[in-house]
Chains A and B, each alone.
Chain A
């Protein structure tokens, strides 16, 4: 009864053939092959996990990527600099503003422009708000994967307040497109700072709530403690970054270690590490990261300098010839842009280093020999976003 056009029929046949080819690659003779995804809640999008099982134990587990590959690096070659800004928002879609900042900083480095102090501080505030919006969802979502639905509702409830604050400044709930070469689009609206401090207090309450509800939960601890242990040297050799690395006991945070001109060095905050390296410690480190981020936002709101928010830049932006690399500490880990310019309106080539791509490369190592339910908790605690993996 469904009317299907010839075009749809052709697409269907092609699709079936492509699907068959993919399945052939993973045919095995011994054991059982378990497919998770590409549409599976534990994969935060469209990651496909192919696990070879022996009974309930995983012999080998391989992530199959590319279901969300949108060809970013090629697209950026045909966009102008302001247009790039719009597009890179959508790489890590939970904390969008954090994707814009490294690219803008790299472009500013090439142009020799520096944003005024107020712009840098506002950038830092929005960056940390993006971090809170990103990780607070993780805190609820991970509990959801372990079977606790309540925490996800709490996370969605309190995340809305952060999104409201971002929307009040930028006009977008989570694709702000607010950063400009040489500064920012606008200043804060009236009364925003007081509202934000109230929201930050609320978020700290949310962290306490999560600590009671999830971290103290016996089932959650049984599912995560001692599961998926990644030692520090293995984590470093696989190129892990961000909270995944800090949870393995490596004290490394780009915000503190590699200053890029933003205002993190102006405030008092702690980089938390955990010696265990298991799923639980990854969750715990991220929980502390949200707390620290609320503190950073509070301190920056108190000491916000006055002045202009835009440096002098030409109306038509042409970036002189050269190459620049800027990396910042994203909610997911190290994110950097290597921008090559030939003096045109748009970049000649952009290499994007995203954190999730390296973070999931450890999956085959960390899941060998674990049980199938533990794969879920490991995947959830590694915390990747598919746009960030495939770009």
Chain B
């Protein structure tokens, strides 16, 4: 991927690569708390059916995943596992932080054992607010991420601001 990262790749090739990456996202389900159920409804249920967006929710391990969805309360005890699994994912990797707890601590903002925001541990691309967000909100977050991947310049990847679903 050295050529891609350096930004010296011809434009048509970059376009082709981005379109392919956009519609073949393997999402790793990191279900932690309540949001995991809504994530399950969005990714696994026949009503919301995420596969029509070109997202496959069933990688066997984080080593096969492009996108991880951190859904739920991140506690201080859970942090090492999250960081380790994020490190195991191959680049280019993306992170969706789902729900208020993963975004900023949410209703546990004054708790002694909750990490106030998963962005203290790993870089986050899309924040989906809500407690818990509806499955539609998660799908909207995934669509926004796909838009971003489509127009992405690999060299500039981490210079953009995170997306917030409104």
Chain B window 129-166, contacts with chain A (Cβ cutoff 8 Å), 1 for yes, 0 for no: 00110100000000000000000000001100000000
Please tell me if B127 contacts chain A, counting CB pairs below 8 Å.
no
| Partner pick for A153 among B45, B73, B132, CB 8 A cutoff | B45
Given contacts A19-B84, A71-B114, contact A3 B123 (CB under 8 A): yes
- A267 interface contact, C-beta 8 A: no
Asked if B107 is at the interface of the complex by the 8 Å CB criterion, the answer is yes
Q: Which residues of B contact A38 (CB under 8 A)?
A: 78, 81
Q: Shortest beta-carbon distance, A198 to chain B, in Å?
A: 17
Instruction: Check A90–B75 contact: CB distance below 8 A.
Output: no
Q: How many of B's residues come within 8 Å of A, CB to CB?
A: 43
Q: Bound complex: CA of A45 vs CA of B75, how far in Å?
A: 13
Q: Once bound together, how far apart are the Cα atoms of A294 and B120, in whole Å? A: 45
Residues of A contacting B30 in the complex (Cβ-Cβ under 8 angstroms): 39
Whether A157 lies near B47 (C-beta < 8 A) is yes
Partner of A69, one of B80, B113, B122: B113
- A7 vs B83: C-alpha distance when bound (angstroms): 14
Q: Are B84 and A68 in contact (CB under 8 A)?
A: no
Partner of B107, one of A66, A87, A156: A87
CB within 8 Å of B: which A299-342 residues: none
Write the nearest CB–CB distance from B96 to chain A, whole angstroms: 16
A222 CB–B CB distance under 8 Å:
no
Contacts of B77 in A (CB 8 A): 18, 66-67, 69
A 39-76 contacts with B by CB, 8 A: 39, 45-46, 66-71, 74-75
Are A75 and B44 touching (Cβ within 8 A)?
no
Question: Is the Cβ of B37 less than 8 Å from the Cβ of A70?
Answer: no
- In contact, B80 and A74 (Cβ under 8 angstroms): no
Q: Contacts A74-B111, A74-B112, A93-B37: A45 and B32 contacting too (C-beta < 8 A)?
A: yes
Count contacts between A and B, CB distance < 8 Å: 115
Roughly how many angstroms separate A98 CA and B122 CA in the complex, as a whole number? 35
Contact between B33 and A71 (Cβ–Cβ < 8 Å)? no
Q: Which residues in B have their C-beta under 8 angstroms from that of A152?
A: 44
Question: A9-32: which residues lie under 8 A (CB-CB) from chain B?
Answer: 11-12, 15-16, 18-19, 22
Whether the pair A93, B33 counts as a contact (CB closer than 8 A) is yes
A157 and B45 within 8 A (CB): yes
Q: How many angstroms from the CA of A358 to the CA of B77 in the assembled complex?
A: 21
- Known pairs A67-B78, A68-B75. 12 more at Cβ < 8 A? A1-B91, A1-B157, A11-B120, A11-B121, A19-B81, A70-B73, A70-B111, A71-B114, A157-B45, A157-B46, A174-B37, A175-B131
A→B interface (CB under 8 Å): 1-4, 7-8, 11-12, 15-16, 18-19, 22, 38-39, 45-46, 66-71, 74-75, 78, 86-87, 90, 93-94, 137, 152-153, 156-157, 160, 173-175, 386-387
